[in-house]
Amino acid sequence: MHHMLRQVRSWYGIRGVAGQMFLMQVGVVLVLVATAVAALLLQSRTDAERDARNHTQAVAASVAADPTVRQALAGDRPTAALQQLAEETRRRAHVDFVVVMSPAGIRYTHPNPAEIGRRYIGSIGAAQHGGTVTETTTGTLGPSVRTVVPVTAADGKVVGLVSAGITVHRVSLAAARQVPLVLTGTGLALAAATTGTALVGRRLCRQTRGLGPAQITRMYEHQDAVLHSVREGVLIVDRHRRLLLANDEARRLLGLAPDVDGRPVTELGIAPRAEELLASGRAATDEVIEVGDRLLAVSQCPMDAPPGPGGAVATLRDTTELAALTGRIEVVQERLALLYDAGLRIGTTLDVTRTAEELAEFAVPGLADYVTVDLADTVLSGGEPDEAGMAELRRVALHGIRPDVPLYPPGALIHFDPFTPQGEGFGSGRMVLEPDMAAFSGWQAQDPDRARQLVAYGIHSMISAPLRARGVILGVATFWRSKEPTPFTDEDLSLAEELVARAATSIDNARRFTRERTMAVTLQRSLLPHALPEQNAVDAAYRYLPAGAGLGGVGGDWFDVIPLPGARVALVVGDVVGHGLHAAATMGQLRTAVHNLSTLDLPPDELLWHLDELVTRIDQDRDGEGGNRTLTGATCLYAIYDPVSRVCTMARAGHLEPVVVLPDGDARLPGIPAGPPLGLGGMPYETSEVLLPEGSGIVLYTDGLIEDRCEDIDEGIERLRRALAVPGRTPDQMCRAALDAMLPGASRDDVALLVARTRALDDRHTAYWTVPPDPAAVAGVRAAATELLRDWGLKEEAFTLELILSELVTNAIRHATGPVGVRLIHDRCLICEVSDGSSVSPHLRRATTMDEGGRGLFLVAQFADRWGTRYTSAGKVIWTEQWLGPEPPADLVPPELQRPVRGAGSRATSRDGAADD
């Protein structure tokens, strides 16, 4: 300890402030530790005695409540029955003795058997009357803490007494066991306190540099003399932004009260900007702050870098002579801030009207009390003003501090007089300032009555500024002042000119965007179908939604419903990647190609293969025009529905799967194999056939319907499926339900939606015959067909059909391989199909006068309205169509016609080829 004191003395020196503080703190710690140890020992002894009393009382009470004890006390030999029980209880309960005695105090049990039968030493009077006795006394086992409780019978009579006790010796041992722990904790606390005191003293010594009180006093006097003699204000603020020191000059410049030391800078009552600077603690150099009628140049240096104490030191210099210059700077700063804000708030959209409204809303009330914006009508539609329309402008924006101003309302078409400020500005492009409108110097020529109303309303000054952008004057913005008593000045005129110039550029950008979008939408609309063609295979409805303005632009989505031979129909939906005129033009090329390829009656996979080659050629042609390689990129889904077989054959090139809605409302994805997008090339496309009940819905759509940045595309398809899973809807209702569920707002991409509900042509609309390979069978087929047309009410078409059948069936028998089949379909037209097993394409040729043959297909082409060839996996089908005037009758093929054709050696079959008996 002596060595430690010597070391401490060598660190600090007893004469120093740190050494004196250390000795005092160590003495205080020793007194506190000694007091705490004494109090802890006394408290430990008191707690031990209290625990002994509670423990003995609990043990005695548990023994007295034992029914075995009452039974033994009622017997002849209580000692024999209770001695063992008492000893076991004593050992388990960790007490020194458990004594059971008679009500008179004669012991029945005792740890020392020699004491059995003797009188109990201690007070038992209260226990004999049903109470409890707890005392510290001296018995046969020495001084002990003991408790005596009564043993009562069922009637409440005391039949015995039970005493449990712990000797004072054991209690003392329990308390003594805590002494080492207490002393150890005391030693640790003393060591920790001494160490902490040493560390605090060492820090104090470092901060005072070992100086004594007299030296510190002398140093403070020198510092005070220096601070108060300088010509600059000095402030010192601590890390908590409280004022530590302010010299006389600082108090004078800031007007500080005498008792502000130690207060937060926010409570000093100084100018707000000075308060903000001091409270922030940031570095500043000659920052000019207005305080009352003075301008102060404030420099501030933070002291946060280690080993600094934190806070900041600020100096102040009086620069009142710079007031005029500072005022000018603030005006310029405000003007620049206003123009900066104008760039952020004007032109946020590519809408002409909204941009004009933003100009009016921004200028009120910062520059004017009312602002009107008038534009040429052609600007609103994306065009440029022409000389014929220069005199008339449309008011598109009006904003002010009050709604009842007597100005022309928005939407009004105003014919401005050439001599008015607006007419002069729109014609010449010059700004016009009218400082005193009450003088009526000519501005009232437009509408004298309204001019008098404006002056009576309080409007007294006006600025007319033409909206010029890229050499074109688009309209006029007029600024009106009423609430501010001073008129507009030349500075206001300059500010309005810059403000209008920025707004005019934004309006012109919106005008150009409107023109380009109008052109793209017009092109796109012209390339899309205007109405769905008439056909009986499906009931169809569609929706097409271009992307909202400014969201995505016009895209390349398209759809089609194309009637095919054999009463079939093709359903098409596609999407060209990208937006704008390029995408719309490419969409038109692809849609035209699909129409042309559909006339060849190609299967879906083969048609998509041809489309893929077309897109590749488009990319190659565009690559030749410029140096950059262009990838068009497109997706397409092509489906063919046959109402006779009720089979829908589909293939897709990178497009989303359609949703099939069955008549019971079950909506599902048909599982069409995915093919690569158009233009990639090199990979085949696969077809998938789906058998659909009559009344099923086929929903084709583009990705704009389901894509959402906030969810996965599979989640969007699932939402669409749930929205369509309702039975009994018409195609139009299904379109509406899909759009309501998927697009509650404007879409970021084009949306093409096509919904087709299937119809079916059953056996009453069709007839099929298998023809033997014998030319004599042609007559039987003709007769059966003629009889069928009579039942269909088509007697006038019978002659032409007989001629067509004769030529086609005869050619199939002579020049093709079997089997040969004939199918008639009664739809919007009369369709005749002759199938054979040959894939050789027939050719139309003109026979000369000396040729005996070669006129068959020529005659067919002359009598049929349309004809063609369709290839199948089993061969080919030659088909013809005869247009019909009226709708098909309700009673079609009677059952009796489904029988063998007499004289032809053939038999009539249904469309699935099963023969009728």
Secondary structure, 3-state, 486-542? CCCCHHHHHHHHHHHHHHHHHHHHHHHHHHHHHHHHHHHHHHCCCCCCCCCCEEEEE
pLDDT: is 764 or 672 the higher one? 672
Alpha-carbon distances of 391 from 59, 80, 100, 385, 471, rounded to whole Å: 115, 133, 127, 10, 18
Residue from 525, 471, 524, 475 nearest 503 by CA: 475
User: 821 pLDDT exceeds 70?
Assistant: yes
Name the H helices within 298-420. Answer: 323-345, 352-363, 377-380
User: 879 pLDDT exceeds 70?
Assistant: yes
User: 730 pLDDT exceeds 90?
Assistant: yes
If you average pLDDT over each of 23-37, 82-96, 212-226, 484-498, which comes out highest?
484-498
The reported pLDDT for the residue numbered 59 is: 84
If you average pLDDT over each of 31-35, 110-114, 465-469, which comes out highest?
465-469
Residue 184's pLDDT band (boundaries 50, 70, 90)?
Answer: confident
Lowest mean per-residue pLDDT among 268-277, 419-428, 605-614, 844-853: 844-853
Residue 907's pLDDT band (boundaries 50, 70, 90)?
Answer: very low
Residue 156's pLDDT band (boundaries 50, 70, 90)?
Answer: confident
Quick check: bond before 565 cis, omega within 30? no
Residue from 610, 543, 532 nearest 570 by CA: 532
Do 572 and 562 meet the contact criterion of CB atoms below 8 Å apart? yes
What percent of the chain stands above pLDDT 90? 23
At CA 333, angle to CA 331 and CA 336, rounded to 5?
A: 110
User: 2 pLDDT exceeds 70?
Assistant: no
- Residue whose entry in the numeric block shows the structure tokens 């009453």: 764
Residue 898's pLDDT band (boundaries 50, 70, 90)?
Answer: very low
The reported pLDDT for the residue numbered 887 is: 46
The reported pLDDT for the residue numbered 172 is: 58
Give the mean pLDDT of the chain: 81
Walk across the sheet containing 392-400 and list its strands. Answer: 413-415, 392-400, 370-375, 472-481, 461-469, 432-434
- Burial tier of 74 (Cβ tally within 10 Å: 0-12, 13-18, 19+): exposed
Rounded to the nearest 5°, which phi and psi values hold at 877?
A: -130, 125
pLDDT: is 79 or 621 the higher one? 79
| 735-777 residue pLDDT tens | 999 999 988 776 778 899 999 999 998 888 889 998 888 888 8
Question: How far is 800 from 238, CA to CA, in rounded Å?
Answer: 111
What percent of the chain stands above pLDDT 70? 81
The reported pLDDT for the residue numbered 362 is: 92
The two beta strands, 133-139 and 97-101, are unpaired
Lowest mean per-residue pLDDT among 191-195, 246-250, 588-592, 841-845: 841-845
The reported pLDDT for the residue numbered 727 is: 93
User: 52 pLDDT exceeds 90?
Assistant: no
Do 375 and 507 meet the contact criterion of CB atoms below 8 Å apart? yes
Residue from 284, 285, 251, 288 nearest 269 by CA: 251
| 231-289 residue pLDDT tens | 788 888 888 888 888 888 888 888 888 888 888 888 888 888 888 888 888 888 888 88
If you average pLDDT over each of 337-351, 486-500, 882-896, which comes out highest?
486-500
Residue 911's pLDDT band (boundaries 50, 70, 90)?
Answer: very low
pTM of the prediction?
Answer: 0.53
Residue from 64, 53, 56 nearest 150 by CA: 64
Residue 541's pLDDT band (boundaries 50, 70, 90)?
Answer: very high
Q: Identify the three-state secondary structure at position 418.
A: coil
Residue 168's pLDDT band (boundaries 50, 70, 90)?
Answer: low
User: 187 pLDDT exceeds 70?
Assistant: yes
| 602-615 residue pLDDT tens | 899 999 999 998 88
Query: What token pair was written down for 545?
Result: 């939604």
At CA 468, angle to CA 463 and CA 472, rounded to 5?
A: 145
Question: How far is 651 from 675, CA to CA, in rounded Å?
Answer: 8
Query: What token pair was written down for 191?
Result: 């060591």
Residue from 313, 323, 367, 645 nearest 484 by CA: 367
If you average pLDDT over each of 52-61, 258-267, 553-562, 638-647, which comes out highest?
638-647
| 612-633 residue pLDDT tens | 988 888 877 765 555 455 556 8
- Which residues lie below 8 Å from residue 682, measured CB to CB, with a gap of 6+? 676
Query: What torsion, rounded to 10 degrees, do the Cα atoms 869, 872, 874, 879 define?
Result: -30
Residue from 421, 397, 401 nearest 411 by CA: 397
- Using only C-alpha atoms, the chain has a radius of gyration, in whole angstroms, of 54
Question: How far is 361 from 370, CA to CA, in rounded Å?
Answer: 9
The reported pLDDT for the residue numbered 12 is: 45
| 202-227 residue pLDDT tens | 766 666 666 666 666 766 666 666 66
User: 348 pLDDT exceeds 80?
Assistant: yes
Mean pLDDT along residues 181-190 = 72
Looking at residue 472, what DSSP letter applies? E
Question: How far is 360 from 467, CA to CA, in rounded Å?
Answer: 13
- Which residues lie below 8 Å from residue 482, measured CB to CB, with a gap of 6+? 369, 370, 401, 457, 458, 459, 460
Looking at residue 307, what DSSP letter applies? T
Rounded to the nearest 5°, which phi and psi values hold at 789?
A: -65, -35
Neighbouring-strand partners of residue 560:
572
Question: How far is 876 from 49, CA to CA, in rounded Å?
Answer: 116
The reported pLDDT for the residue numbered 611 is: 92
Neighbour tally for 176: CB within 10 Å:
13
The reported pLDDT for the residue numbered 209 is: 60
Mean pLDDT along residues 168-172 = 63
Do 120 and 133 meet the contact criterion of CB atoms below 8 Å apart? no
Which amino acid would we find at residue 22? F
Neighbour tally for 633: CB within 10 Å:
19
Q: Identify the three-state secondary structure at position 671.
A: coil
Residue 885's pLDDT band (boundaries 50, 70, 90)?
Answer: low
The reported pLDDT for the residue numbered 44 is: 64
DSSP 447-458: -HHHHHHHHHHT
Question: How far is 637 from 573, CA to CA, in rounded Å?
Answer: 5
- Residue whose entry in the numeric block shows the structure tokens 């280690």: 306
Residue from 375, 36, 383, 413 nearest 193 by CA: 36
pLDDT: is 746 or 836 the higher one? 836
The reported pLDDT for the residue numbered 899 is: 33
Residue from 365, 341, 235, 335 nearest 289 by CA: 235
Query: What token pair was written down for 536?
Result: 């009986």
Question: How far is 790 from 798, CA to CA, in rounded Å?
Answer: 8
- Which residues lie below 8 Å from residue 387, measured CB to CB, with a gap of 6+? none
- Residue whose entry in the numeric block shows the structure tokens 């054709």: 901
Mean pLDDT along residues 85-108 = 86
| 482-527 residue pLDDT tens | 988 899 988 888 888 999 999 999 999 988 888 877 777 777 777 7
User: 410 pLDDT exceeds 90?
Assistant: yes
Residue from 912, 887, 865 nearest 792 by CA: 887
Question: How far is 115 from 100, CA to CA, in rounded Å?
Answer: 12
Question: How far is 836 from 816, CA to CA, in rounded Å?
Answer: 7
Mean pLDDT along residues 24-38 = 73
User: 908 pLDDT exceeds 50?
Assistant: no
The reported pLDDT for the residue numbered 889 is: 42
- Which residues lie below 8 Å from residue 640, measured CB to CB, with a gap of 6+? 564, 568, 569, 570, 571, 603, 604, 648, 649, 650
Query: What token pair was written down for 761?
Result: 């042509």
Question: How far is 878 from 807, CA to CA, in rounded Å?
Answer: 11
If you average pLDDT over each of 17-31, 126-140, 531-545, which comes out highest?
531-545
Walk across the sheet containing 659-661 and list its strands. Answer: 538-545, 751-758, 697-701, 659-661, 667-668
Question: How far is 783 from 789, CA to CA, in rounded Å?
Answer: 10
Lowest mean per-residue pLDDT among 32-41, 188-197, 345-354, 851-860: 851-860
Question: How far is 401 from 424, CA to CA, in rounded Å?
Answer: 27
Question: How far is 727 from 729, CA to CA, in rounded Å?
Answer: 6
Mean pLDDT along residues 145-158 = 85
User: 21 pLDDT exceeds 60?
Assistant: yes
Do 448 and 439 meet the contact criterion of CB atoms below 8 Å apart? no
Residue 98's pLDDT band (boundaries 50, 70, 90)?
Answer: confident
